[in-house]
Structure 1
């Protein structure tokens, strides 16, 4: 059967499918990890090409199906099959409560939560897939349903003689899930993914063209190669000689050994000899910049400059006495009511993400659980504290407060 399946997908194509699905679902793992606040690993894809009649997922029963339709970029269905127990654990972690096995059922609330989780996971997967194949990919909203039996699932998508591609993954979520799930796609969809991947990476038709071009090129003899290398080196030497100054060329005529062993005083005198050897016009042209620099050095003032740090007057310790009129005004200000608000945290979201909010959506803030909250007046933080409950209402126990002088400035 394995040899006959190569008529549908070769070993190379199966490897490509495994890599594409592994990377796309790796992004799904990141989304699931953010939702559950748990480490999520999705690894070791196992790609199999089987007939729909022989396809079996007995190890996952009772199972939940998640149907995703690719509506642009690529076309086809991608169906995920997960264990019902794994879905239960995910919902328990998401909602922070335990559900008894006999009480768990996919009611409207559970379906909504599962769809939200799968929507974020498969949205990340589609984005990663688009980057991988170099083409935008859009998906429909995932549809979650309970699989009654294998025959019902197969009859929903395939005929008995249809050939399908199943990709099995290992799923590990912290210490709460160590399981597997299966992705099922059609052979045409798998072929399309392989083609887009190979064309996007330049490994498609370009490979054969490169080989043919290489084979058709005439080989050069060793003598020809040596001659060309010698000509290139000679051209490089000529270019260097044209660029280098006359004095440097002359000095380079000595051997390296003579240059190293030559005393410094001799080298200095030789350099002076070259300068005197030029005519007056050349000397002005070549060395005038040096003379100007020397002139600038001699014109620098040698008088020491005294630098002292700037001293600023301090106004913090000075207490101004308020007049009677100011005291009266201050008394009036003290009776003005101010709106106090308590902020537990903030975050930023794109407009697209905000429009996707719905009942059950979770917004993660930039503060850890148990951190102190900010007490805000007129948009300014005046204190920090802990959240408490007072007479069935929320309250704040102030644990840290800014200076009272700053509070007066805020209220003015």
Structure 2
């Protein structure tokens, strides 16, 4: 070194030193960690999209079940997925809420929590109790909680069916439990008890016609959400792999089918008679026959010996008979449910007579006392019988079965 300037040899030696390399490594950012994506407490954008898509389909099925139960149009849409904590949740929503805890016991293990505002739950209860939804109870009592638990049971039962369709595996849930808590003051339970544990929150927009326009939340542990995404990704990869294998098989099939390379086949092809040989023998035989025919008749036009022989075409006889039609396998429809009704009788009334009906009115039917009643299956007559009482319930003892031909005629 001279005058504070390093020579080229000194610079090369410094670059090769271990201390210099350690200093460089310490100053560089960890690019591997940056490229690895989010930390263990986060979800990637693709995972969030997958969770939102599954939640949208599942809650859409739940909304259909709730709509059938309430007799009102219910929509649960627009899922928004984010990571939060119970502590942050209590700070953002310091209001009374209804918590519905759902445990998945078959197919996928884990728990979900639905959070509904107590006011929205009151509207649902009022509609279930034959109200119009405009007079919800001021405070939810035990009876109201039982009613809302039944509604949530039907909702989540339908949701689990949709969930089962998505992951192509049977999914069962335990009966949901309902708790009314105030997020500002009451302590959370279960997986939500740890205030700092990351959880996945899916927010939905819930509307019940013009009665409810609110927000509904679904909470799930982070590991449950990741397992859900993993199941969904596995089901998506399977059809693609099968399609790729099918495409590869189709690509290879024409090569083997169009150009046979089997040695036995080539030997048979070489041993086959040449096309010209039979034509020559046939032509010779034909010439001899024509020569003899000419000598017998004293002359005549004799065709050349190399003329091509012509024979009438022969076809296999057509089978005009009809094969008996193979009956379909009835086992395929053994589990199809059918509606059975017993028809006691019929009567025709005018509109005036119908409007005059009141409690105590008597309607005379077209059946006589003691006459057999009709047993209908999906509206078609199947049998006749007599009414009996079995353990305080009405029943029918079948006395006559409609003939198979008549049954087939009625089913058409």
TM-score (norm: length of structure 2): 0.53
Q: 1:71 aligns to what SS in structure 2?
A: strand
Cα distance change, pair 57–34 in 1 and its aligned pair in 2 (3 A): farther
Contact 1:170 1:181 in 2 (8 A): yes
**Which stretches in structure 1 are left out of the alignment for 5+ residues?**
211-216, 218-224, 237-275, 294-348, 352-364, 367-373
Q: How does 1:196-211 map to 2 (within 5 A)?
A: 196-202=231-237
Structure-1 separation of matches of 2:196 and 2:239: 30
Partners of 1:17 and 1:47 within 8 A in 2: yes
User: Of residues 35, 38, 57 in structure 2, which corresponds to 1:23?
Assistant: 57
Name the residue aligned to 1:112.
Answer: 146
Q: Distance in 2 between matches of 1:153 and 1:46?
A: 25
Residue 127 of structure 1, CA deviation:
1.0
Specify the alignment match of 1:13 in structure 2. 47
Cα distance in 1, alignment partners of residues 159 and 182 from structure 2: 27
Structure 1 residue aligned with 2:163: 129
Q: Which moved more, 1:143-152 or 1:192-201?
A: 143-152
- Equivalent position SS for 2:213: strand
Match of 1:279 in 2: 310
* 1:171 CA displacement: 0.8
Q: For 2:133 and 2:75, locate their aligned partners in 1 and report how far apart those are by CA, in whole Å.
A: 24
Q: Which stretch has the larger CA shift, 80-89 or 151-160?
A: 151-160
1:278/1:173 CA distance change after superposition, 3 Å: farther
User: Aligned to 2:199, which of 164, 173, 180?
Assistant: 164
1:84 is aligned to 2:118: yes
Residues of 2 paired with 1:205 and 1:231: CA distance?
24
Whole-Å separation in 1 of the counterparts to 2:316 and 2:224 = 76
1:395 is matched with which residue? Answer: 361
CA distance in 1, matches of 2:259, 2:370: 76
What is the 5 A alignment of 1:174-253?
Answer: 174-202=209-237
Task: Summarize the alignment of residues 46-61 of structure 1 with structure 2, pairs less than 5 Å apart.
Answer: 46-56=80-90, 58=92, 61=95
The Cα of 1:95 is off from its aligned counterpart by: 1.6
Cα distance, 1:188–1:287 mapped onto 2, change above 3 Å? closer
Which residue number in structure 1 is paired with residue 395 of structure 2? none
Aligned length, in residue pairs? 267
Cα offsets for 1:234-274 (capped at 9, x unmatched): 869xxxxxxxxxxxxxxxxxxxxxxxxxxxxxxxxxxxxxx
The residue matched to 2:314 in structure 1 has which SS?
helix
1:324 aligned residue: none
Contact kept, 8 Å, 1:50 with 1:165, in 2: the verdict is: yes
Whole-angstrom distance in 2 between the partners of 1:114 and 1:61:
19
CA distance in 1, matches of 2:220, 2:97: 17
> Could you tell me how far 1:92 is from its partner in structure 2?
1.6
Residue 5 of structure 1, CA deviation: 6.0
Identify if the C-alpha distance between structure 1 residues 186 and 395 changes in structure 2 by more than 3 Å, giving closer, same or farther.
farther
Q: Secondary structure at the match of 1:162?
A: coil
Query: How far apart are 1:170 and its partner, in Å?
Result: 0.7
| Offset of residue 8 of structure 1 | 2.9
Compute the displacement of 1:206 (Å).
Answer: 6.4
C-alpha separation between the residues in 2 aligned to 1:60 and 1:32?
27
Query: In 2, are the aligned partners of 1:387 and 1:394 still within 8 Å (CA)?
Result: no
**Alignment deviations for residues 73-119 of structure 1 (CA, whole Å, 9 cap, x no partner):** 22222111101111111122222226887953222221121111100
- Residues of 2 paired with 1:60 and 1:25: CA distance? 25
Report the equivalent of 1:306. none
- Max Rg structure: 2
Contact 1:387 1:397 in 2 (8 A): no
- Say if 1:382 and 1:407, in contact at 8 Å, map to a contact too: no
Once the 2 structures are TM-superposed, how far is the Cα of residue 162 of structure 1 from its aligned partner? 0.5
The 1-side partners of 2:362 and 2:356 are apart by 6
Structure 2: which 5+ residue stretches go unaligned? 1-36, 261-306, 321-335, 373-412
TM-score normalised per structure 1: 0.53
Paired with 1:25 and 1:43, the residues of 2 have a C-alpha distance of: 8
Contact kept in structure 1, 2:38 and 2:44, CA below 8 Å: no
Matched, 1:380 2:411: no
Residues in 1 aligned to 2:108 and 2:315: alpha-carbon distance in whole angstroms? 71
**2:379 aligned residue:** none
